[in-house]
Every structure is written in structure tokens, then in C-alpha cells.
Structure 1
Amino acid sequence: MLIPILALTVFQASAQDIIKLDSLQLVVKQAKTDTARFRALIDLSHLYFSTDYVKSMEYAIQAKDLATAKDLKKHELTALTQMGNVAIAQGDYKQAATLFFNSLKEYEELKDTSGIISMNNNLGASYDRMGEYDKALECYFTAQELMNASNLTERKKVVLPTVYNNIANIYQTKGDPKSALAYYEKALKLALEVPNHKAQGIAYNNIGKLYANELNEPDKALDYLMKGLEFREKIGDLGEIARSLIILSNFHLNQKDLAKSEEYSKRALEIGNKIGSMDIKRAAFLGLSEIEEKRGNYSAALSNFKNFKTYSDSILNQQATSEITRLQLQYDFEKAEKLREEEAKQSRFKYLSTIAALSIGLILAVLITLVIRSKARQTELSQKNLAQDVEIKNKELTTNVMYLIRKNELINNVAERLLKIQRNLLPENQKIIQEIILDLQREGDNDTWKEFELRFNQVHSEFYTNLRKLYPDLSPTEEKLCAFLRLNMNSKEIAAVTQQSIKSVEVARARLRKKLNLTNTNSNLVTHLANI
């Protein structure tokens, strides 16, 4: 029953697409403006995205080349994003991540909130596919926070279902079905309100997988999975249809209905061959291998598994993770440098005022110290020594923190100068320079924390012990942030020590408040930590 419905759906969509294709190709040839020609090329890429990834990428590249030649910056970013979407659908996560990173930097230059949100979501998808689940979740939460804080009311209805689905995927992968189901249901509710058939199809499929695997309710699972396939057939996106078929094949395999499972896997493989998706073909061959193994046909199982392995090796490029890490480092470095440059321009007057205030404060401190010393002579010798010891250690700790800040600034300055020199060197020397930059970053981070922690424990020896008793679930990174806040350091100073952006520190502080149960209270985070 399902095969005729799928064939009818694809045939109708193809007949409509032929008319659209002819019309758009005519516009490309006869367009009087560059914008009209660009829009036609992008529309062609979107149209082929449902049926042929190779052609979809070709038209996206043509659109990007046109926008670059005519200096149409926003159009160029639209084309780069589409190229990234096609790449991730093909299973080329390295190329996708590169395109999304480059686009994110440009959108931040333009202060385009909508673009920044989209790129964070897309980068999260790249991390997700490569198994970097914590980084993926961080990107998704960033997209969610930016979207909720924006005034993009109508866009929220379209984007948030996708973000919620992605967050739920991560929770499901990390073994938290309760949180996953909550986010899936939020995604489905929003998708039904818009309505957004694509988001509906994704949400139905994901809820079906959750009921089938983690919640062990096969009847509910099949109902949701069939609804997901129905919505995907309505929009005629072959890639999404194939992914639904893969999920249904796995479901029937687990229910020991091998005939149904084989039917769905073969239909998915046919679509994967048609649209050129390595990811879909890999999943289909894995399903067929498992089916034949269940039947005892080990020769056929091995043949299908070899095909699965071939496509897996193509997709899981070992350089992908290192490439995205390099891009992340470069992106964070450039972002921090720009922030420092802007702050430097605004802080000259503040700097002079601070020097004057410090000078006056120093004089007052000297006078106060003289008075205190005069009175201190009347106290017991043991109390005097203890007070002086604590004071000296606190001063040493403060001095050490300032030294670490200057040290990190020096490391970043050296790294920047090396980057400038790198462009003029031979390729083999460029790699050496890049390795030096990475070593500087790593050594800077390690030495900074070890030195700080040593000094901190000398002054506040019981702080970590008390903190871990009260909050045993804090991560090492969150314990570090607590230590900095215990010293009453502001976000700018913490960012300088940890080599993060100020915004990242602010987000981390907000999450720490929640973990310390201070949300929706009037308690001050710094004051709270000072009392531990």
C-alpha cells in the first residue's frame, strides 16, 4: 500500500517541478538584474535539494560566484548557507562546518541576529553529526537564547521548532528521554500552529523513535512514525522521505517483521542513489545487512555491510573534527581581538581616571596602613602575624591574577603577529606556524589555571571543600568560575584569564546561578560564593 502512495507523491511533485525548473532556468538566462538572476539560481538549488544534491550544490555555487563577483554580501551569505545545507545532507560535515563558520563571522560583522541564530543552529547540526554532543548542545542553546531575546516574532514560529527538535535529539542521544520528549512535544506544538509541514514531519518521526527505543511503546511509536512519513510525502522532499523509511525499517526490524523492514530499506536505498546521499545509502545498507544476518544469509549480510563500511569511511573523515576545532580556535581568537580593539578605543579616558584614582587610593592606603600598624602594636603577636600573612597572600593572589591576565594578552599578541607573518610564508612553513599558535594557546591555558589554582588554595584552602559538599554536581569548569567570582573578578577580567569572550562568560554565569538554585531570587552570585 505504501509504495504506490510514495510513487504518486513523487510523480506529482516532479510534474510541478518541471514547470518550475523551466521557468527558473528561463529567468537565469533572461534576468535583467543580478538580484533576479541570483534569486532564480538559489530557487533552483532549493528545488533540486529535494531530488538531487549534486545539482543543488552546482546551482548554489553558481549563485555564490555571482554574488561574490557583484559584491552582493548578503546574497553571498545566503548562497554559502545553502551550500552548507547541501554538504551536510551529503554527509560532508567538514565542508559544511567550514561554510557555516565563515558565514557566522560575516553575520556577526553585519550584526544580523537572524543569520547568527541560523548559523549557530547549523553548526550545532555539524557537531551533532560528528558526535560532539556537548558542543552541539551549546550551539543549540545559544540559538534558542538569541531567538527568545529577539523581536523576530514570526521567525520564532519557524525556527524554534527546528531548534527544539535538535536539542531533543541531543538529550535522546545522551540517554535523557524525559527531557527529549518535552522538547519534541514543544517542537510539534509550534510546528502545528504555524503550520510547518517539514517541522511536523521531523517532530512526528523523532517522537516515534523515542517511543520505539527508549520508552518501549511500539503501538504509539508506529502511529507517530507513519504520520511523520505522511507529512514528508506531502512536501515531496525525497531526502526526508528516505530518512523516514530508514526509521521505519529499523522499527520493523526490532519488531522482527523482516519483510517490512527490507521493503523500507530498499525504498530508502533507491532514493539515496537517486539524490546522491551517502548518508542515506550508508543507513540503508546497514539495515539490509542486519536483516540478512537475522535470516541467516551471512554472505548477503557481509556484502551489504561492506557497502555500509565504504560509505561510512567516506563520511567519517578523521580530519573533520580537527578542522572544526581549528576553525573554532581561529574564530574565537579573531572575535576576542576585535572586542579588545573596540574596548581599547573606549577605555583611554577611563584608564587615566583609574590611574588617578589608584594613586589617591594608594596614598590613602599608605596612611591607613600607618594608622593600622600603630594600633596593631597593641595586639598580641600571634594575631598580628596571622593578619599580615593573610594580607600578604591576598596581595600575592591579586598580583598573580593580574600577571596571568597580562601573560595571556602577550600570548594572544604573539599569536596574532604569527598569523600575520604566516600569510607570507611557504605552505610547509605555514603549517609550522599554525602548530606554534596552537601550542601557545594550549600552554597558556594549562599554565594559567595551574598557577592560579595553586595560589588560590594557599589563601582559600577550604573553599573547594565546602563548595563540593554543597554542590557536588558542579563541573571542573564551573568550579573554576566559582573561584574567579570568589575573588570578586568581573566578567572582563575572567574573560582575559580564560581566553573566552565576555559574552561566553556572562552565559556561563547565568547557567551557574541556575545550578546554585539562585534563579528567581534576589541573592547576589558573588556574595553567595563569598559566604561559602
Structure 2
Amino acid sequence: MMIGWILPSSSSAQELSQPLDSLLDEISSFSGNGHAKEALVQLDSIRKILLPAPDSEEDWKFKKAYGVVYMDQGDMDAAKSQMLPLYRANWKQMPQHIRGQMARAVNDLGLLYFRIGKMDSARAMHDHSLLMYQSVGDDKGISMNYGNIAVILSDIGRRDSAIYFCKKSLQIARENDNLESAGFALLNLGLYEIAEGTYAEAIRHLLESREYFKQMDRHDLIYRIDLRIAQFYLKIEDFEGARPYIMRGKEYADSVGIDAHLCRSYRNLGDYFEGIGDYEAALVAFDSVEVVARRMSHAKLVSIGVTSQAMVLRGMEQYRRSIDLYMKGIEEMGDLFPGMRVHAWTGIGKCQMALANYRAALNAAEEGERIARQAQIYESHRFDLIGLKVRAHRGMGQYKLAFDYLDQYQGIQDSTLTGADQREIARQEYEFQKIYEQRIYDLEREQSEVKHQHEMDRARITRNSIIGVTLLLFGALFFVYLSYERKKRDNRLLALRAEQLRYKHRQLEEAHEKEQALLNDYISEKDRRIAAITMTQMEFGNQLKKISDTIGKIQPATSKCGEAITQVQRMLKAGIKDENQWDSFVHQFDQVHPRFFDVLRNSYPGLTVNDQKICAYIKIGMDNKSIASVTDLTLNTVKSRIYRLKKKMGLEPDDSIREVVLSMN
């Protein structure tokens, strides 16, 4: 494959200066499609013809083009050597059209630093590029840099700031009808919302992003969206939902042969196979990630491939091989990617726990904590690190230290706890509660033995006293004295035991409160999942309705065709009005709030079925807008119904119906 222009055998700089920008753009595009070596040859040919003077306008253009091609070739050092002079140049004295090209080059330099894990340098490049774009009023470049800054902030765990910059990028892109920038902003926003657990908003933004890229006929970007949607389904463990998106992405990656696309596809395949328990296939997929990433000289993807293989081996209970691969991954990372290094040390700690090497597990947790604190990302990794310390101290029999760390779970925000994390906390507290219940049982048994011994002593003392009365008075007094002293000692012992029992009782009450808090978190998570499923079902119904409306506009050619169209519309309407959706919702709702409808009907017998539905949606935390989407009503209609519902329930205008419904247990 060759690009669509031919160099003349003898040309002057003046003859080529006019089309130089378009030629260099075409070469960069050619390089990005997997032909970096051929593009480099073409660049050298043009440079030999033009022989640009150092630091001239043409020299800056060539440096930018060389930097892009070297990046595509995987030669990061050469790319930096070409692009750094553009960053250091006094851009304020450059013409505006050159300033814009230099801004794009500095942006590409930021992408280079991001790929090799130097986040501080990447942020500095994008901030610099942003200033340059703002100086020339290039809204597309401004939006692009805001989006890149958002990606960097998300990678270092500052998700709130990432969402802020992502929304700024989206706002500017929409104001200027920039479909590409808007599509990327919506894509990143969807990914951040998945991480935050707002799945309904996330999938809406991902599909909206896909629609933008479809309008642009950008199959490469549609491929990226499909991969992200697949990752969303993998995150919620819907492996059948993820499979078609993964397979479409793999077919596209194979067809274009771009290494970056292949890496992403192999990574998703590995996650899919690991999720369905096919560990051997997962190992092959993650090994392919490592091989392709090394070919690209992409340090981060190499580390991901290696540590992902380690995670699979841990799932296969091959702990020593897993530890070796985790250590290999840490060596690949060097001083870069602190978040990934923390995950690797956590994985090593879990392997050491499985091998009963509790001291080694504790050392791994402490090393992970050191890296996290140094990189100021401790809070986002706090759960795994503390959990590992709890289990390690418990394994070494250091229960007091284990409980001290267990108490720290109270400071972890709900957003950092997945369902698996909550189940792990509950399991650990249950095990510790069993240990303490056993200790209390031992104390009670010891107290019972003391009481029994006390009763035996009293009987013996009484018998000896009777015998002593018949003997010497001195003997009787002596035995009475012994009885008094023994009783006083026993009373002190009983008082001590009672104080110990009160202390253990307080600990049990605290453990119960923790368990109750975990139960509330579990119910909240279930409510969010019910809401997400309900929104997805409603979206599916809307799509069926759109299809039905479209079919209804078709003019049948024959009567048979008309009958077929009518039959299809009936089937679609039956799917839209499927009452089983409500039954399915009630079934899942009752698993979380089993007596809610009984309490509601007994407390307010005048409520209709639709009133009960609105109360159920409020119970799982849906706002008015979400209720309107689910019930296919307008927002004003929902507000009116809620106002009438408050009257039926006898509530005052200032009373909150949400507080009343949420308080029903």
C-alpha cells in the first residue's frame, strides 16, 4: 500500500512548500494505519528535497511529523527527541497557524508520556498544549486537551476531577458541533460513570457516543465503543451480554491488524474467559496481550498482560507461579504506574495468604500501602490493603491487631465497596464473631465451674462447722474464718468475671452494629441493580416501540404483506406491553424488601396499584426523572401523581414522601 502522491524526481523547496501540510498529514495517517516504516521512508525523501533550515517553519512541521511516526513505530526515545524542542520553543512569537500545529505536537507528546506512565509530565504537556490552543481560539483542540487531562486524572484515581474536565470537553464540543470530540467525551464520561456505579447513565452515554461515531462513519471508534460496552457487561458479570461485543471487536482488530486494537481485544477476551472459568483460554489471551504490547514497546500494556496472567494463575490456585508473574510485572513497571504496582503487591499478599505465609502476606500489604501513600492514591486501594492485613494478623493469631484494622472499614466510602467487598467484610466479621462467641462460651463455662465449686465448698464448710461445734470451740471458729475468707475471694472472682462479660457484651453489640451497616450497604447495592435492570428493560421497550412505529409507516405492496406487517406490529406491541416485566421487578424487589408491599397496603389501604409502583420505585432510590422514564410518563405527570399520592397518605405539603417510604421496613 502506498499513499496517493508521487514525489517528482527533481523538485525545489518552493515547489513543495505549498502542499507540505497536506503531504505530512497524509503521511501521519498512513503511519497510524500500521505502516510506520514506509511512512518514515517517505518523510526522509521529502526532507532531502526541501532541506529545511534549523528552527524554520518547515523544520517545526517535520519534527511534529517525525514524532508521530516514531510513536507509531514504538520508538519513544526518538519521538521525544523530535517533539521536545516544540515544547521548549517560544511559541508566543510564532504565527497563529504554526502555533496551532505546535499545540497538536505538544498534545501528542503528552500522549507519549501517558503511554510510558509519566503522568506528571503528561499533565504538564496537555496544560501547555491547552494554553497554545486557547491563544489561537481552536475550540476543537481545547476540547481535546480537556478530555486528555480527564483521562490522566482518572488514571491516578482523581475521578471527581476527571468527570469535571470531561464535562467541560463535552460542553465545548457540543457548542461547536464537533462530533468527534463530543463522542470521545461521552465515551470517557460513560467509563467514569461505570466506575462510580451509575450504570444506567453510563450505558446511555456510551450508546450516544456510538451514535456520534456512526454518523461520522468511524468504524475504528465504533470498535472502541463496542469494547467499552463489553467491559461494562463484564463488570456486572453478564458474560453472555459481553460476548457479541467482544467478538465483533476481535474481528475488526484482526481485519485492520493494528497492534493497539489487538491488545484491547485480547484483554477483553481474557477477562471473558476468566469470568466463565476457562482459565487456560484466559492465560492464552493475556499472554497475547503481553506479546503484542512488547512489539509496540507499550510498558503499561505489557505490565497488564503479565499481571493478568498472574491473577488467572491465582484463580487456578497455582500460587507460586502467580507470585513469580506478579514480581515480573512489578519489574516491568519500574517506578511507573503506582496503582498497578499496588494491585500487584495485593495479589502477592493474597497468594502468600493461601500458602499460609502470613508474615510474607503482611509484608506485601505494607509495601503496597507504602507505594499507595507515596503516590497519594491510598484511599482508592484502602479496602484491599486493610483486608489483607486483617487476614494476615488473624492467621498469626494476633486477634487484637486484626480487630483494630477491621474497625478501619467504617471509614471506607460506599463507592469503594463492591458487592464482593461487602460479602468479604461480612464473612470476616462473622468468623471473628464466632471466635469471640467461643471465648464467651469458655468464660461462661469457667464461671459455671466456679459456682459449682463454690457450692461444694459451702456444703463442706457447713459439714465441718457442725462437726467443729461438737469439738473444740477454737476449731469451730477457725473453720468459720476459713469460710469467710474463701467467700470473699470467690466474690472478687465473680465480680471480675462479670466485668469481663460486660466488656465482651459491648464488643458483641458493636459487631452487631457493623453487621447491620453491611446489611444496609447490601440492600442499597441490590436497589441500584434493580434500578439498572428496570432502566435497561424500559430502554428495550422504547426500542421496540420505535421499530413498531417505523414498520407502521411502511406502505404494503400486497394484502399479504400488509397482514405480515400487522402481525409483526402485534408481536412488537405484545413485547412492549409485556406485564411480566412488572412481575419480574416485584420478584427481585421482594427478595430485598420482602414485606414492603404488605406494610404499604396495611398502612395505606386506599392506594392503587400504580401508587404502589411509584412507592416501590422511590424505595429503590429512583428520582422523578428515572420514574418518568420507567413508567413512560412525563416528568410533570409523575410530579402530579406524587402530589396526589401524598394526599392519599395523609401527608402535609412540607412532608417528604421519600423519607416516609424509605423508612418502611
Using the size of structure 1 for normalisation, the TM-score is: 0.56
Percentage of identical aligned residues: 13
- Please give the per-residue CA displacement for 1:200-243, whole angstroms capped at 9, x wherever unaligned: 2122122122212x322222222222222222222222122212
**Are 2:150 and 2:162, in contact at CA under 8 Å, matched by a contact in 1?**
yes
Query: Kindly tell me: are residues 484 and 280 of structure 1, through their superposed partners in 2, closer, same or farther at Cα, counting changes over 3 Å?
Result: closer
| Residue 280 (structure 1) shift | 0.7
| Residue 269 (structure 1) shift | 2.2
Q: Give the alignment of 1:442-453 within 5 angstroms.
A: none
Q: Which runs of 5+ in 2 are unaligned?
A: 1-70, 383-411, 417-603, 615-621, 642-665
Query: Kindly tell me: are residues 273 and 95 of structure 1, through their superposed partners in 2, closer, same or farther at Cα, counting changes over 3 Å?
Result: farther
Partner of 2:356: 296
Whole-angstrom distance in 2 between the partners of 1:231 and 1:494:
55
**Are 2:289 and 2:301, in contact at CA under 8 Å, matched by a contact in 1?**
no
1:94 aligns with 2:160: yes
- Please give the per-residue CA displacement for 1:67-126, whole angstroms capped at 9, x wherever unaligned: 234433222222222212222222322222121111111111112122111111101221
Whole-angstrom distance in 1 between the partners of 2:209 and 2:150:
17
Partner of 1:244: 305
**Are 1:27 and 1:36, in contact at CA under 8 Å, matched by a contact in 2?**
no
Q: Quick one: which amino acid aligns to residue 268 of structure 1? A: G
**Are 2:74 and 2:296, in contact at CA under 8 Å, matched by a contact in 1?**
no
Q: Quick one: which amino acid aligns to residue 297 of structure 1? A: N
Instruction: Choose the corresponding residue for 2:235, options 173, 179, 204.
Output: 173
Q: Give the alignment of 1:47-126 within 5 angstroms.
A: 47-51=112-116, 52-126=118-192
Whole-angstrom distance in 1 between the partners of 2:255 and 2:329:
30
- Flag the structure with more relative contact order, 1 or 2, with Cα contacts below 8 A and sequence separation at least 6: 1
Q: Quick one: which amino acid aligns to residue 75 of structure 2? A: Q
Query: Kindly tell me: are residues 198 and 479 of structure 1, through their superposed partners in 2, closer, same or farther at Cα, counting changes over 3 Å?
Result: same
| Residue 289 (structure 1) shift | 0.7
Q: Quick one: which amino acid aligns to residue 240 of structure 1? A: L
Query: Kindly tell me: are residues 271 and 496 of structure 1, through their superposed partners in 2, closer, same or farther at Cα, counting changes over 3 Å?
Result: farther
Give the SS at the match of 2:325: helix
1:264 aligns with 2:329: no
Q: Quick one: which amino acid aligns to residue 281 of structure 2? A: K
**Are 1:94 and 1:320, in contact at CA under 8 Å, matched by a contact in 2?**
no
**Are 1:125 and 1:136, in contact at CA under 8 Å, matched by a contact in 2?**
yes
Partner of 1:158: 220
1:16 aligns with 2:81: no
- Please give the per-residue CA displacement for 1:343-391, whole angstroms capped at 9, x wherever unaligned: xxxxxxxxxxxxxxxxxxxxxxxxxxxxxxxxxxxxxxxxxxxxxxxxx
Whole-angstrom distance in 1 between the partners of 2:152 and 2:345:
22
RMSD: 3.9
Query: Kindly tell me: are residues 497 and 208 of structure 1, through their superposed partners in 2, closer, same or farther at Cα, counting changes over 3 Å?
Result: farther
Whole-angstrom distance in 2 between the partners of 1:147 and 1:59:
27
**Are 2:627 and 2:638, in contact at CA under 8 Å, matched by a contact in 1?**
no
Q: Give the alignment of 1:40-439 within 5 angstroms.
A: 40-51=105-116, 52-148=118-214, 150=215, 152-153=216-217, 155=218, 157-212=219-274, 214-275=275-336, 277-309=337-369, 311=372, 313-315=378-380
Query: Kindly tell me: are residues 232 and 167 of structure 1, through their superposed partners in 2, closer, same or farther at Cα, counting changes over 3 Å?
Result: same
- Please give the per-residue CA displacement for 1:130-150, whole angstroms capped at 9, x wherever unaligned: 3443432232222223333x1
Q: Give the alignment of 1:488-503 within 5 angstroms.
A: none
Partner of 1:5: none
Whole-angstrom distance in 1 between the partners of 2:638 and 2:296:
47
| Residue 309 (structure 1) shift | 4.8
> Whose Rg is larger?
2
Query: Kindly tell me: are residues 79 and 494 of structure 1, through their superposed partners in 2, closer, same or farther at Cα, counting changes over 3 Å?
Result: farther
Q: Quick one: which amino acid aligns to residue 236 of structure 2? A: K
- Please give the per-residue CA displacement for 1:296-348, whole angstroms capped at 9, x wherever unaligned: 221121122234456363436989979xxxxxxxxxxxxxxxxxxxxxxxxxx
Query: Kindly tell me: are residues 482 and 299 of structure 1, through their superposed partners in 2, closer, same or farther at Cα, counting changes over 3 Å?
Result: closer
**Are 2:74 and 2:298, in contact at CA under 8 Å, matched by a contact in 1?**
no
Q: Quick one: which amino acid aligns to residue 226 of structure 1? A: D
**Are 2:100 and 2:132, in contact at CA under 8 Å, matched by a contact in 1?**
no
Whole-angstrom distance in 1 between the partners of 2:158 and 2:298:
19
Whole-angstrom distance in 2 between the partners of 1:97 and 1:64:
18
Whole-angstrom distance in 1 between the partners of 2:640 and 2:301:
46
Query: Kindly tell me: are residues 253 and 43 of structure 1, through their superposed partners in 2, closer, same or farther at Cα, counting changes over 3 Å?
Result: same
| Residue 172 (structure 1) shift | 1.7
Query: Kindly tell me: are residues 19 and 41 of structure 1, through their superposed partners in 2, closer, same or farther at Cα, counting changes over 3 Å?
Result: same
Query: Kindly tell me: are residues 63 and 494 of structure 1, through their superposed partners in 2, closer, same or farther at Cα, counting changes over 3 Å?
Result: farther
Whole-angstrom distance in 2 between the partners of 1:308 and 1:497:
54
Query: Kindly tell me: are residues 281 and 94 of structure 1, through their superposed partners in 2, closer, same or farther at Cα, counting changes over 3 Å?
Result: farther
Query: Kindly tell me: are residues 458 and 256 of structure 1, through their superposed partners in 2, closer, same or farther at Cα, counting changes over 3 Å?
Result: closer
Whole-angstrom distance in 2 between the partners of 1:301 and 1:102:
43
Give the SS at the match of 1:274: coil
- Please give the per-residue CA displacement for 1:369-428, whole angstroms capped at 9, x wherever unaligned: xxxxxxxxxxxxxxxxxxxxxxxxxxxxxxxxxxxxxxxxxxxxxxxxxxxxxxxxxxxx
**Are 1:484 and 1:494, in contact at CA under 8 Å, matched by a contact in 2?**
no
Whole-angstrom distance in 1 between the partners of 2:76 and 2:339:
24
**Are 1:140 and 1:163, in contact at CA under 8 Å, matched by a contact in 2?**
yes
- Please give the per-residue CA displacement for 1:6-28, whole angstroms capped at 9, x wherever unaligned: xxxxxx99993222211112234
Query: Kindly tell me: are residues 59 and 314 of structure 1, through their superposed partners in 2, closer, same or farther at Cα, counting changes over 3 Å?
Result: farther
Q: Quick one: which amino acid aligns to residue 289 of structure 1? A: G
Instruction: Choose the corresponding residue for 1:36, options 85, 98, 101.
Output: 101
Give the SS at the match of 1:91: coil
**Are 2:143 and 2:170, in contact at CA under 8 Å, matched by a contact in 1?**
no
**Are 2:346 and 2:364, in contact at CA under 8 Å, matched by a contact in 1?**
yes
**Are 1:87 and 1:93, in contact at CA under 8 Å, matched by a contact in 2?**
yes
| Residue 479 (structure 1) shift | 6.1
Q: Quick one: which amino acid aligns to residue 348 of structure 2? A: L
**Alignment: residue pair count:** 340
Partner of 1:470: none
